[in-house]
Amino acid sequence: MTLNGKVALITGGGSGIGRATVHRFARAGAKVAVADIDRASAQDVVAEVDAGGHAGAATAVEVDVSDFSQVEAAVQRTVDVFGRLDVIFNNAGIAGGKALLDHDPAVDYEPMIRVDQHGVYYGILAAARQFVRQQTPGVIVSTSSIYGEQAAELAFTYSAAKAAVISFTRSAAYELAQYGIRCVAITPGRVGTPIINQFSDELRSTFAAEQLRNKLTEPEEIADVVTFLASEESRVINGTVVHVDDGYSVFKQRLGALPAF
């Protein structure tokens, strides 16, 4: 599995799944624009890539994905530095939750929709336009969630935004196939990112028990899948949702000792 000669833009590249994917792409031979709202985090990841034996393979780009002009600028910066764009990984997102009846729309709805939903739309649009300008194929991978396909506690807005990512992916794949552009969504389950690792051991254990291996997924495991999806080896995967949830979606809860039937 190789990405030799490919250029990628990864949003949310300063931490978690994004950071792991930057490293995985660099090892696969890609050049990577590490895009994050926290420029210092993005620069730290670039330094890690350089120190890991891939000097010059990454560059830092500051971007607020909720602002289309900034997403366009991030795409252009990638092209300016590396000469082209072949892959975008729309991964930047925020989490959080509150019971619906306690919502303040300005706090509990609008910010998450701007980042998790609008940010993906902007990335799809900006990258697709660049691919067409280049007259080259391209790959668009976007991070949805298991919550994008089901209801969950305290996740009214998050689930809606992640469901939109799935719909965006299907529609974009349909419209953009004529240009040789593939679009795929991934649905992570419980991943050991800084967002989850801040919680108590008890809550993290509960999250782990919701997956078939009874453990949290590592960001690097998601990065392996994204690398495959960005590669030519996955050329027949288009317009679909790839579950990277370690079986979260196939069962409700562990029963322990089974009752008599």
Give the percent of the chain with pLDDT over 70: 97
User: What was the pLDDT predicted at 251?
Assistant: 87
Bigger pLDDT: 236 vs 153? 236
- With a cut of 90, say whether residue 55 has pLDDT above it: yes
- With a cut of 90, say whether residue 217 has pLDDT above it: yes
- With a cut of 60, say whether residue 261 has pLDDT above it: no
Determine the Cα–Cα distance for residues 185 and 70; give it in Å rounded to an integer. 22
Catalytic residues: 158
User: What was the pLDDT predicted at 258?
Assistant: 57
Residue where the block lists tokens 């008599």: 260
User: What was the pLDDT predicted at 76?
Assistant: 98
pLDDT (mean) for 40-65: 98
169-186 pLDDT, tens digit each: 999 999 999 999 999 999
Give the percent of the chain with pLDDT over 90: 92
User: What was the pLDDT predicted at 253?
Assistant: 76
Bigger pLDDT: 153 vs 226? 226
pLDDT, mean over the chain = 96
Contacts of 65 (CB under 8 A, 6+ apart): 11, 12, 35, 37, 71, 90, 92, 115, 118, 119, 120, 122, 123
110-163 pLDDT, tens digit each: 999 999 999 999 999 999 999 999 999 999 999 999 999 999 889 999 999 999
Beta strands at 31-36 and 7-11: parallel, antiparallel or unpaired: parallel
User: What was the pLDDT predicted at 255?
Assistant: 66
- With a cut of 70, say whether residue 256 has pLDDT above it: no
Domains, the chain: 7-243 (3.40.50.720)
User: What was the pLDDT predicted at 1?
Assistant: 79
- With a cut of 80, say whether residue 63 has pLDDT above it: yes
Q: Are 41 and 65 in contact (CB under 8 A)?
A: no
83-117 pLDDT, tens digit each: 999 999 999 999 988 999 999 999 999 999 999 99
User: What was the pLDDT predicted at 164?
Assistant: 98
**DSSP states of 204-228:** HHHHHHTSTTSSPBPHHHHHHHHHH
